[in-house]
Chains A and B, each alone.
Chain A
Amino acid sequence: MAGTSPRTLFDKVWDSHVVEKLPDGTCVLYIDRHLTHEVTSPQAFEGLRLAGRKVRRPDLTIAVVDHNIPTSDRSAGISEPESRLQVETLEKNVAEFGVPYFPVNDRRQGIVHIIGPEQGISLPGMTIVCGDSHTSTHGAMGALAFGIGTSEVEHVLATQTLLQKPAKNMLVRVDGTLPPGCTGKDIVLAIIGRIGTAGGTGHVIEYAGEAIRALDMAGRMTVCNMSIEAGARAGMIAPDEVTFEYVRGKPYAPKGEALDRAIAYWRTLPSDAGAHYDRVVEIDATSIVPMVTWGTNPEAVAPITGTVPDPASEPDEAKRAQMQRMLEYMALTPGQKLADVPIDVVFIGSCTNGRIEDIRAAARVAQGRKVAPGVRALVVPGSGIVKQQAEAEGLDRILLDAGFEWREAGCSMCLGMNPDKLTPGQRCASTSNRNFEGRQGPGGRTHLLSPAMAAAAAVTGHLADVRELS
């Protein structure tokens, strides 16, 4: 293992966190950062309490509320009793176990995967976990970051480790220059369209190549975020100057001489030449077109210039039946032009696309335009810090003037757990990551796309090619 043979980024981060290797190959893996939120932690803390256990390293743990909270005015508290109970339970637990916490009225509050990198809590070379599948987001820092279930949340709280076996290595190389109008979101949707929703199962995907290197940290986080939508355990991008620049000055990041030493170490992390990957996929960035999903999983995706596919042309019977069901649920007809599909709601936000760069992209499209009549368009910053930054740049004014709603930070309409929900039959252009049936509310229909494309849908009233709006 840790010898002379060339290793991948994943191998290096993994090897440096193995506390002990058990005879069957299962490892006790040390966890550097544990992020927790109100939905997947109550039963874990309860488990600790019942067993009389403590949190081993509260100083490596951070808690925040994001899934359940309303994104409208919060001064009156949470009216929905079950959501309120989950938030109150988290508050009781963090107080009892001494876990650092960003409460709802803290300006640092936000979606757990936005605040980690933003605060410098998530750093290169770390192992990072959270009871949430989109923990893969933090892999953009050059960390090994993955989602865990509640039993594992309890396991990390009690031991600061997990019992794991190493994943397989997969390389997705995206070469060439991304065309104008395309973003990290379009890259990752194109990847999932190619390899499928189970294409990465059992693997950690390392994203590399010219088009990935050219992305800013926000774009890299968008790509890694959706690794789980390709079935991968995690996504990672080797840390480079862009990463180090991003880390510099973040509240919890090392400073001064400590940062220099950290960077010297982080420079050793990128994969060695000749390192082995179990699977390699190559994507030509120059061929990518702004993407939009038409079905009810992220693999059901097509370029905005395309049409709704025809199940009749699918040879596999089970797949054909699944496509038919998707089209029925989505109320789309084969051959229909995607750019003609009218929408009711636009949601710009989530841990996929709720960063300042995403809001800037939406505002650029919204500037001087109006949300189409009958369309409800929400912009939900990923954190209080993102919100503050956007307001300092005047983006809130641009969006409000165009008729968008400007809301408080949280998961919002990404999932139907808080007051922001689709009603049955409503069709939404969404910058989130999942278009499963009912994900944004029972009976809701979701089209996944980039923030610029979502804004284009808002101002035209239908799915639209943002490149035609400039």
Chain B
Amino acid sequence: MDAFTTLTAVAAPLPLANVDTDKIIPARFLKTIKRTGLGVHLFDTLRYDETGAERPDFVLNKEPYRHAQILIAHENFGCGSSREHAPWALLDFGIRCVIAPDFADIFHNNCFKNGILPIRLPRAICDQLIDDAKLGGNARITVDLQRQVVVRPNGEEIAFEIDEFRRHSLLEGLDDIGQTLQHAPAIDAYEARQKAQRAWMPTIT
């Protein structure tokens, strides 16, 4: 996983609530056995018409948003399925940060596992950032994870909250499994305790 420290980039405004994972990546594209290559299908039904041609009015089909690395949306972003294909598709397109008033839990979790930073900010601030993003290519937004601030194009800084464990993992680009395996003795001890206390617990063989 790539570390995330600071990012200064074009932000794409997507002022929609309840953007579900079927919208981010429809189920028919989940037949892959890889993590990469899903970017072309990101927001497939919003992005392309029935013939497969780009819909010119969809934000990611317009300059400079084709190169957006930040996405700003409304409430309950990423609701629906647990498919990690949703953050994979965002990442493959180039998105490293999503800003919204709130996120669905599993999607929120999945972002961190892939080096995408999801930032919760109040709706009014998201709307301000959406207005900033609409200014186009010269209006870059900076996300500084070290200092936990989003910097608007006018230089105003907006602080955001993030779980310390996740912040650290993102800043260092740490792999969760590697970190957990350092607790292997505690896991062994737990299993031994469970075996003694809940001997009735069956295994699957």
Contact = CB atoms under 8 A, between A and B. Distances in A.
B163 A24 contact: yes
A28 B176 CA distance: 11
B140 interface: no
A149 interface: yes
Interface string B137-170: 0000000000000000000000000011100000
A20 B105 contact: no
A68 B31 CA distance: 8
A362 to B, nearest CB: 25
A2 interface: no
B183 A231 contact: no
Interface stretch (A81-89, A235-243, A396-404): A81-89
Contacts of B30: 39, 67, 417
Given A19-B187, A415-B27, A151 B84 contact: yes
Interface string B96-115: 00000010111001100110
A163 B190 CA distance: 15
Contacts of B179: 163
Interface in A111-156: 120-121, 123, 131-133, 135, 146-152, 154-155
B161 to A, nearest CB: 13
A28 B191 CA distance: 13
Given A152-B109, A434-B80, A86 B176 contact: no
Contacts of B22: 434, 436-439
Given A416-B27, A439-B27, A322 B204 contact: no
Contacts of A133: 80-82, 106
Contacts of A233: 105-106
A56 B190 CA distance: 14
Contact of B183 (A28, A42, A56, A132): A28
B42 interface: no
Contacts of B33: 42-43, 46, 85-86, 89
Given A133-B106, A163-B176, A198-B76, A59 B203 contact: yes
A252 interface: yes
Contacts of B18: 197-198, 297, 322
A22 B186 CA distance: 12
Interface string A158-176: 1111010100000000000
Interface string B164-205: 110000000000110111011011001100100011111111
A24 B164 contact: yes
Contact of A19 (B104, B163, B186, B200): B186
B17 A424 contact: no
Contact of B203 (A60, A163, A443): A60
Given A19-B190, A85-B33, A254 B201 contact: yes
A22 B180 CA distance: 11
Contact of B205 (A19, A40, A46, A100): A100
Contacts of A424: 50
Contact of B113 (A22, A152, A202, A434): A152
Contacts of A146: 106
B90 to A, nearest CB: 13
A132 B81 contact: yes
Interface string A28-52: 1010110000011011001000010
A262 B200 contact: yes
Given A197-B18, A201-B76, A43 B34 contact: yes
A131 B22 CA distance: 16
Given A39-B83, A159-B181, 19 more contacts: A24-B164, A51-B177, A59-B205, A100-B204, A120-B202, A135-B82, A150-B110, A151-B114, A197-B76, A201-B104, A202-B105, A233-B105, A254-B201, A254-B202, A258-B202, A265-B200, A297-B79, A416-B28, A436-B80
Nearest first, the 8 A-B pairs at minimum CB distance are A151-B113, A149-B110, A82-B31, A42-B33, A149-B84, A147-B82, A258-B200, A59-B203
